[in-house]
A and B are shown apart, each in its own frame.
Chain A
Amino acid sequence: MSDFLLLAFLFLIAGVAAVPIATALGLGSVLGYLIAGIALSPILLLLEVDVVSIQHFAEFGVVMMLFLVGLELEPKRLWEMRNRLLGLGGLQVGLTAALIAGVLIAFQMDWRIAVAVGLILAMSSTAIVLQTLAEKGLLRGDGGQASFSVLLFQDIAVIPILALVPLLAIPGAHHAGAEDGHGAGMSLVADLAGWQAALVTAGAIAVVIAGGMFLTRPLFRYIAKARLREIFVATALMFVVGIALLMTLVGLSPALGTFLAGVVLANSEYRHELESDIDPFRGLLLGLFFMTVGAAIDFQMLWDDLFPILGLTLAVIGAKALVLLVLARVFALRGSEKFLFGLGLAQAGEFGFVLTSFAVSNLVLPEDMAPRLNLIITLSMMLTPGLFILYERVIRPAFDRPVEREDDEITEKGTAIIAGHGRFGGIVNRMLLAAGYKTTVLDHSAAQLDMLRVFGFNVYYGDASRPDLLHAAGIEEAKLLVVAIDDPAQAVAIVHHVTQNHPHVHIIARARDRHHVYQLYNAGCRDVIRETFDSSVRAGRSAYEALGMHPFEAERLARSFVKADRHALYELAQVWDPEIPETQNPAYVQKVREMNEVMEPGAALGAFRERHERGWTPPSPQDTESDRQRIEAARDGA
């Protein structure tokens, strides 16, 4: 127990110390974690910690990451990506492996070993690349999408490669303690004939898709009704872990399975809630993963062989970048996106570790080669953040224009977020949709949600007062937030949070009463709408008309009233102080007194009536006469 706590504390302290510094320097969190890992490695060595097994555990972060990526990708978009996925992904793996293998064969290596090494190094790091792309907001651009396609393909390709590697075994080779390093553990399909295995595998995928489509909604709805946050989180985790387990049992990539489940749920109303529940786990696990990569560097070996190993690492990055840039050209990626794709995927990845140990245990690779190969993979991963920085600071600025244009397209996505879809927010939402705007609606009443879904609204379950949910709903890219929730105190809290952290977002807030207006104003909202004010004004206008006032005059009088009342409210909001009750706030009392003075009958709200009186005042006969005299005098004079 204390071992575990010590280890957890070490990793946490390293991450907490290194990552904020790295991000503040604009290096990205990945590099921060890697450096933290390197710093930790002597201590871990001292404590005899099995870094590799921690790394295996932390790889689950990748599975979660793919689930989250899937959530952002609607099935339609995935289908649109199919050409890239197969074409770009297939060519990347094939050409990279061929190039590396070819060079190695030219250097007199056994062709079987060369092919295995080529395949191992063809893989890129899903964890590093996706994390970095997401962090820098590059995932939605063209280069980001292409990178994602390739990573997804590699993910799928690992399975056939695992099947292929044993065929490369060098006849007669043998080393001690050889055992099946990777396929160890449970399997549902190990003892089945090929066609049966295929059937079971297809069945498992069908289970994931059908389950995602038909089971999740009633399940999540049931859980949501309990209104227990941690149970919802537990359900989400159960869901992801369950799918990963099922996929492993039938011999498929768990990342692929959760990715599919994510895609299936991309249209679900629980999407944002799932996203914000899983995301912290993903973040922690990936952080741990990156730290283990850093910690796994064998510095002894590196010093002994510094230049050959560094040279080989750079050669691997160069070869991969070359293939990627050629493909980028063939697949018509534009401008800086081409280089994002080319540099971003140029490292080897975590799948390389898996394949290496598998190849060694299958007698494909000589045992003494594995540590060097792992070191090269690790170093190439270490250099990746540097390549991203190169891209961001040097390459992209050179292509500045096209990038800006693409940014516009992206912000189109989540124009408006509506928090609370009741009587108030619902109308705002309908108006925005009717005008063709895209909205993201958050509401925490599962019953309300069901009804809205029936009518085809795009709504999500969630408590909008939680910052992480606002984040998942895309507050960073939103132009507008409408705070229309019932609870006045929570509304103030949201306004406060968003004005502090996302000052670019325009906030429209629904206020219960005058007091609430002051609070919202004080929290930084400048577009406060009193929920019953407009309807009351309309009632007042109707009353004017019923009492015989001309409708146009009633309209103008009502408008003057609104203007005067809003002005008064604004003045009072300026002097209102949350710390002092209104009656004890001298400035406030003074203002109210001033206003009351001019509030005698017939002149309600001061200037209100007087302002109204001005309009279409006919000239007096004297006015007309003086105009006549002036004009005629001017003419006679001329």
Chain B
Amino acid sequence: MARLLHYAAHPSPRTSTANSAMLSRIRGLEGITSLDLYAEYPRYDIDIEDEQQRLLAHDVIVLQFPLFWYSCPALVKEWLDLVWEHGFAYGQGGDRLKGKLLMLAVTTGGPQEAYGAEGYQHYELRTFLTPFEQAARLAQMRFLAPYVLHGALKTEPEAHALGFLRLMTALRDERLDLRAAESADILTHDTLPLMGIN
């Protein structure tokens, strides 16, 4: 069993459909640590020491958020800025996250075909997520392909939410094919590289 840490970040849970469906699905899932970042720090007073201890106590870190202006909601950035300190995540003596896994779970308003050179969003989704990918690399972590729901505003979120449950269970039970997950572009509920019984 991998020690799995899950952060969800949505500043407006009342109006969320996709992300809250995902959350409902995994609520109560045993053997994982799940945290609502905006509920934990409604006043942005992130406790660096607590958060670093939490990171150290886990092997797999999943960050779940809606894509806002091609990036993460502000509190996720704040969390990254404060918690991933030099001397902890990078820089001299900063190898405390080494070997851990980082995975994003992102929902976007724009449809799949919009993300690409031909689409109206003009770039691949992965291009927008490169800051996270490079951060993981600097911290000597393995960065898995993000688990994505495109067109979140038009799509029924149920299948995606169920897929998220399967993904989290597999990560916990070490049944996700990490190599496949690393080399994929993005993962969706119907392209999860699960090992063993599906």
Q: Which residues of A contact B (CB under 8 A)?
A: 550-555, 615-621, 624, 627-628, 631-632
Contacts and interface: CB of A to CB of B under 8 A. Distances in A.
Contact of A624 (B14, B36, B68, B153): B153
15 contacts: A551-B38, A552-B38, A552-B39, A552-B42, A553-B12, A554-B42, A615-B12, A616-B12, A616-B68, A616-B73, A617-B15, A621-B153, A624-B110, A624-B111, A631-B120
B120 A627 contact: yes
Contacts of B109: 618-619, 624
Contacts of A628: 114, 120
A558 to B, nearest CB: 10
Contacts of A620: 153
B120 A552 contact: no
B11 interface: yes
A632 B116 CA distance: 13
Nearest to A617: B15
B42 A621 contact: no
B43 A555 contact: yes
Contacts of B179: none
Given A616-B15, A618-B109, 9 more contacts: A550-B14, A552-B42, A615-B12, A616-B68, A617-B15, A618-B15, A619-B109, A620-B153, A624-B109
B13 interface: yes
A616 B43 contact: no
B27 interface: no
A550 B153 CA distance: 22
Contacts of A551: 38-40, 42
Interface string B166-178: 0000000000000
Contact of B11 (A554, A615, A627, A631): A615
A585 to B, nearest CB: 39
Contacts of A627: 120
Contacts of B42: 551-552, 554-555
B120 A632 contact: yes
Contacts, number: 46
A57 B40 CA distance: 74
Contacts of B40: 551
A554 B153 CA distance: 25
B155 to A, nearest CB: 10
Interface of B: 11-15, 36, 38-40, 42-43, 68, 73, 109-111, 114, 120, 122, 153-154
A638 to B, nearest CB: 13
Nearest to A624: B109
Contacts of B111: 624
Nearest to A553: B14
A405 B43 CA distance: 40
A39 to B, nearest CB: 69
A555 B75 CA distance: 14
Contacts of B68: 616
B53 to A, nearest CB: 21
Given A551-B42, A552-B42, A628-B120, A616 B11 contact: yes
B13 A553 contact: yes
B112 to A, nearest CB: 12
Contacts of A554: 42
B102 to A, nearest CB: 24
Contacts of A555: 42-43
A621 B122 CA distance: 19
Closest 9 CB pairs of A and B: A552-B38, A555-B42, A631-B120, A551-B42, A616-B12, A552-B42, A551-B39, A628-B120, A550-B13
Contacts of B153: 618-621, 624
B110 A552 contact: no
A554 B12 CA distance: 11
A550 B110 contact: no
A628 B114 CA distance: 8
A550 B15 contact: no
Contacts of A553: 12-14
Nearest to B39: A551
A552 B76 CA distance: 14
A550 B154 contact: no
Q: Which of A616, A619, A621, A631 has the most CB of B within 10 A?
A: A616
Contacts of A552: 11, 13, 38-39, 42
B125 to A, nearest CB: 15
Contacts of B11: 552, 615-616
Nearest to B13: A550
B159 to A, nearest CB: 18
A628 B110 CA distance: 9
A561 to B, nearest CB: 15
Contacts of A615: 11-12
A616 B55 CA distance: 29
A550 B39 contact: yes
Q: Which of B36, B39, B122 has the most CB of A within 10 A?
A: B39
Given A552-B38, A628-B114, A621 B12 contact: no
Nearest to B154: A621
A117 to B, nearest CB: 75
A337 B39 CA distance: 61
Contacts of A631: 120, 122
A551 B39 CA distance: 5
Q: Which of A550, A551, A552, A617 has the most CB of B within 10 A?
A: A552
B173 to A, nearest CB: 30
Q: Which of A615, A624, A627 has the most CB of B within 10 A?
A: A624
Nearest to B110: A624
Contacts of A617: 15
A566 to B, nearest CB: 18
B99 to A, nearest CB: 33
A616 B19 CA distance: 14
A632 B110 CA distance: 14
Contacts of B122: 631
B121 to A, nearest CB: 8
Contacts of B12: 553, 615-616
A550 B73 CA distance: 16
Nearest to B111: A624
Contacts of B43: 555
A554 B40 CA distance: 12
A194 B42 CA distance: 79
A553 B73 CA distance: 15
Contacts of B15: 616-618
A213 B10 CA distance: 63
A618 B40 CA distance: 23
A554 B13 CA distance: 12
Q: Which of B15, B68, B73 has the most CB of A within 10 A?
A: B15
A142 to B, nearest CB: 44
Contacts of B14: 550, 553
B12 to A, nearest CB: 4
A494 B58 CA distance: 58
Contacts of A632: 120
Contacts of B110: 624
A185 to B, nearest CB: 71
A603 B83 CA distance: 39
A617 B14 CA distance: 11
A619 B111 CA distance: 13
A113 to B, nearest CB: 80
A531 B73 CA distance: 35
A2 B42 CA distance: 78
A4 to B, nearest CB: 70
Q: Which of A551, A615, A617, A620 has the most CB of B within 10 A?
A: A551
